[in-house]
């Protein structure tokens, strides 16, 4: 089992879904964690209490809006103040919108690029100098099968995730001799609020029922015919933080039930 005792993690988009599963995995391994995201105060407090119980270490929360570079800088500064400079950075926050390109709202394009791509850049540029000083760092960017292949009606998301994969390779090369690794995890469809929320848009865009979207659009892409679980993604993230993964950097690891093998 990976031991992260004494390590400090910043996980964005982590009050639910994949990010929360990763934060729990890190806490189980002994890390202090800053989570980020939105949610009712009582729910966030319950998450923090659970993380502290799991880790025996500190857990704190930032509600920073990651479409705002200044808010990202404040989040990183708050992390350093509350638990110390992060050894582990997981860029997981994201959003989706489904619409044909000619009808794609400009404000949705701008927000998706800001959150899914630019926020990754801003957090990395702020945290990498701290990792260099520590001589150790693990950067994990949640990409997607859509970092490797495209689907109709998802132009902004596909563009952002392709770019995240390329950006990750670049920072892996820039930090290769400094004890820092940078990798993507590219899940297929994971049953999370992000996936559930895009079903109505896909129904409207393609004229399908909910069941048809589930079976003929989402799971049709995955030969396993099942959703990836958040725990599976968290296990991969935990391995990438282990000593055994020290030579894995610049990789884009598919967890898509065989989707991109086709």
Distance (Å, rounded) from C-alpha 138 to C-alpha 140?
7
Distance CA 99, CA 53 (A): 43
What distance in Å separates the CA atoms of residue 254 and residue 245, rounded to the nearest whole number? 16
* Active-site position among 157, 189, 227, 259: 157
Residues 24/51, Cβ–Cβ less than 8 Å: yes
Question: Does residue 95 contact residue 112 with C-beta atoms inside 8 Å?
Answer: yes
The DSSP bridge partners found for residue 34 are 10, 60
Q: Measured between alpha carbons, how far is 168 from 171 in angstroms, rounded to an integer? A: 5
Q: Is 189 a catalytic residue?
A: no
| Nearest 10 degrees: Cα torsion 165, 170, 172, 174 | -170
Instruction: Please give the structure tokens belonging to residue 19.
Output: 């990010």
Positions marked catalytic: 157
């Amino acid at each position: 089992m990976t031991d992260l005792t004494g390590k400090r993690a910043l996980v964005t988009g982590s009050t639910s879904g994949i990010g929360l599963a990763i934060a729990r995995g890190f806490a189980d391994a002994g890390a202090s964690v800053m989570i980020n995201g939105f949610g009712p105060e009582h729910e966030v407090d319950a998450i923090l209490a659970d993380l502290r119980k799991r880790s025996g270490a500190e857990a704190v929360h930032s509600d920073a809006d990651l479409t705002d570079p200044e808010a990202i800088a404040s989040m990183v500064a708050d992390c350093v103040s509350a638990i110390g400079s992060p050894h582990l950075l997981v860029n997981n926050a994201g959003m989706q919108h489904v619409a044909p390109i000619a009808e794609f709202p400009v404000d949705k394009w701008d927000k998706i690029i800001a959150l899914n791509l630019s926020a990754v850049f801003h957090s990395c540029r702020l945290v990498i100098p701290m990792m260099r000083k520590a001589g150790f760092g693990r950067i994990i960017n949640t990409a997607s099968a859509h970092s490797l292949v495209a689907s109709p009606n998802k132009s902004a998301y596909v563009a952002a995730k392709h770019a995240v994969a390329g950006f990750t390779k670049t920072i892996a090369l820039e930090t290769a001799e400094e004890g820092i690794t940078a990798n993507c995890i590219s899940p297929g469809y994971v049953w999370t609020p992000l996936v559930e929320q895009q079903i109505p848009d896909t129904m409207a865009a393609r004229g399908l029922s909910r069941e048809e979207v589930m079976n003929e659009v989402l799971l049709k892409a995955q030969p396993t015919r099942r959703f990836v679980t958040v725990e599976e993604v968290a296990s991969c993230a935990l391995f990438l933080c282990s000593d055994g993964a020290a030579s894995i950097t610049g990789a884009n690891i598919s967890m898509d039930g065989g989707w991109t093998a086709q």
